[in-house]
């Protein structure tokens, strides 16, 4: 989880002080296929190796990323960024001794590369004799980047892991003061408060964890048990239920990501498209619209007639209020699957929100013709009819929607 945080901080490097080493090369990421084609032409193309390794890391294909960055550091041994990302990939593969060596090499090449300080501190801290080395790394990193929220978090985490609770609280509060959106800092602050038997502050910190990151699964369980322990039983049960839902979602995500990115033997494009689609559904249910859309687009690239993928891209565009773009994807879905009632209904909603009431009426009627139990279609039809002045017909359609809702 901590190396996820390390990677997450990469996107913020543009605001780093001028004297710090700034990670380069991940801004214009292209597809795996693009980089593989470049490497077929020249297997020692450093830019292509860097790009491919970066994409693999983003996709959590850490074994593949490790192999690519190993090639890159052999080709370009003076590339501090490559050494650092090689270390990240090795860490995710639990090859910690090799990861330390890669990070140390990165630091030799770029002594002001502060993210390497944080990474080494975390790995040193895992060694039984590494506490002093970890604190030394953090101290040097904070000297270079005193305003780094993540750096203060790493300090707090290391102190917390060694039982130095008061110092850990100070460091974690400093991290949160700099950047209140860092969920890790709130979570570990809550754990320290729990250790100190301060349930009130622990609850507040857990609540802040979820506010900063609604997908922070562990916080729901911890907060649920805290609520229950302090007499807020109903709220505790709600938190535990949310924890279970998020756990299932995480399991689904891991399942489809393993199928897509971690199989030893690749499978055919039809199964790959289906896995991208299902992974997109996981993200859509979480409200992660951009990530969901990327997965639906991947499915569509593999199967240009994938009606459900096209439809769900339209759903994402609709949720983003990009109605013209949504309409195009709904229409494509219907073209490839004319009996797709849900796509007709959402196309009708698209017309409705844009004020094209006659087109909405026709699309709602098509949806109802395909699925006579679709309450939402009747309700939308009623609205469109009323807007067109057909009051009695509109009321009748809405009444039918209510009947169907009651039956459900």
The last residue of one of the domains, among 338, 371, 400, is 338
- Within a domain: residue 113? no
Q: Residue 170 falls within a domain, yes or no?
A: no
Range of the domain at 330: 267-338
Give the pLDDT of residue 9: 44
Domains: count for the chain: 2
Say what the pLDDT of residue 348 is. 95
322, 382: one domain: no
Whether residues 333 and 395 share a domain: the answer is: no
CB under 8 Å to 84, separation ≥6 — which residues?
A: 23, 102, 103, 106, 113, 115, 116, 119
**Domain boundary, last residue among 287, 310, 338:** 338
Last residue of a domain, one of 338, 366, 391: 338
- What's the pLDDT at 60? 77
3-class DSSP state for residue 281?
Answer: helix
Query: What pLDDT score was predicted for residue 406?
Result: 65
CATH of the domain at 367: 1.25.40.10
DSSP of 167-236, one letter per residue?
HHHHHHHHHHHH-TT-HHHHHHHHHHHHHTT-HHHHHHHHHHHHHH-TT-HHHHHHHHHHHHHTT-HHHH
pLDDT at residue 27, rounded to an integer: 56
* Token pair recorded at residue 296: 């639906």
33 by Cβ neighbours in 10 Å (0-12 / 13-18 / 19+) ranks as exposed
Instruction: Kindly report the backbone phi and psi dihedral angles of residue 19, in degrees, each rounded to the nearest multiple of 5, phi listed first.
Output: -75, -15
Closest among 33, 405, 64 to 264, alpha carbons compared: 64
Does residue 286 share a domain with residue 319? yes
Per the domain annotation, does 128 fall within a domain?
A: no
Q: Is residue 314 part of a domain?
A: yes
Domain shared by 334 and 356, yes or no? no
The span from the CA of 251 to the CA of 345, in Å, is 31
- What pLDDT sits at residue 196? 94
Using a 10 angstrom Cβ sphere, with 0-12 exposed, 13-18 middle and 19 or more buried, the burial of residue 200 is exposed
| Same domain assignment for residues 333 and 362 | no
pLDDT in tens, the chain (408 residues): 454 444 444 434 334 444 788 887 655 678 888 899 999 999 999 999 999 999 888 877 888 899 999 999 999 999 999 999 999 999 988 899 999 999 999 999 999 999 999 999 999 999 878 999 999 999 999 999 999 999 999 999 999 999 999 999 999 999 999 999 999 999 999 999 999 999 999 999 999 999 999 889 899 999 999 999 999 999 999 999 988 888 887 887 777 777 777 665 566 777 888 889 989 999 998 888 999 999 999 999 988 899 999 999 999 999 999 999 999 999 999 999 999 999 999 999 999 999 999 999 999 999 999 999 999 999 999 999 999 899 999 899 999 989 887 655
First to last CA, the chain: 42
DSSP state, residue 20: S
321 and 358 housed in the same domain? no
């Amino acid at each position: 989880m901590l190396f996820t945080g390390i990677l997450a901080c990469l996107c913020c490097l543009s605001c780093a002080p001028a004297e710090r080493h700034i990670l380069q090369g991940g801004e214009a990421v292209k597809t795996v296929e693009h980089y593989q084609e470049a490497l077929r032409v020249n297997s020692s193309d450093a830019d292509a190796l860097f790009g491919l390794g970066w994409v693999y890391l983003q996709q959590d294909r850490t074994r593949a990323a490790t192999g690519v960055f190993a090639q890159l550091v052999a080709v370009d041994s003076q590339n501090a960024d490559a050494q650092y990302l090689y270390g990240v990939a090795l860490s995710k593969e639990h090859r910690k001794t090799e990861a330390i060596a890669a990070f140390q090499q990165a630091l030799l090449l770029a002594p002001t590369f502060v993210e390497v300080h944080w990474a080494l501190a975390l790995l040193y801290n895992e060694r039984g004799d590494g506490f002093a080395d970890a604190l030394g790394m953090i101290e040097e990193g904070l000297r270079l980047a005193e305003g780094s929220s993540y750096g203060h978090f790493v300090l707090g985490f290391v102190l917390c892991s060694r039982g130095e609770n008061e110092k850990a609280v100070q460091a974690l509060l400093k991290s949160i003061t700099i950047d209140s959106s860092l969920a890790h800092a709130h979570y570990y602050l809550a754990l320290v408060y729990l250790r100190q038997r301060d349930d009130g502050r622990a609850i507040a910190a857990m609540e802040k964890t979820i506010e900063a990151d609604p997908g922070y699964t562990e916080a729901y369980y911890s907060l649920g048990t805290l609520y229950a322990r302090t007499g807020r039983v109903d709220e505790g049960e709600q938190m535990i239920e949310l924890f279970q839902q998020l756990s299932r979602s995480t399991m689904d995500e891991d399942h489809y990501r393993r199928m897509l990115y971690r199989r030893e033997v690749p499978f055919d494009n039809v199964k790959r498209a289906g896995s991208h689609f299902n992974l997109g559904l996981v993200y859509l249910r979480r409200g992660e619209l951009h990530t969901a859309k990327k997965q639906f687009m991947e499915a569509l690239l593999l199967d240009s007639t994938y009606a459900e993928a096209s439809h769900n891209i339209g759903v994402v565009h609709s949720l983003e209020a990009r109605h013209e773009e949504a309409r195009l994807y709904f229409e494509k879905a219907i073209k490839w699957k004319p009996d797709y009632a849900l796509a007709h209904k959402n196309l009708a909603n698209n017309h409705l929100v844009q004020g094209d009431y006659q087109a909405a009426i026709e699309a709602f009627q098509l949806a109802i013709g395909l699925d006579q139990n679709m309450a939402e279609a009747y309700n939308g039809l009623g609205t469109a009819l009323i807007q067109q002045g057909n009051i009695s017909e509109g009321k009748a359609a809405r009444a039918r929607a209510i009947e169907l809702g009651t039956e459900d």
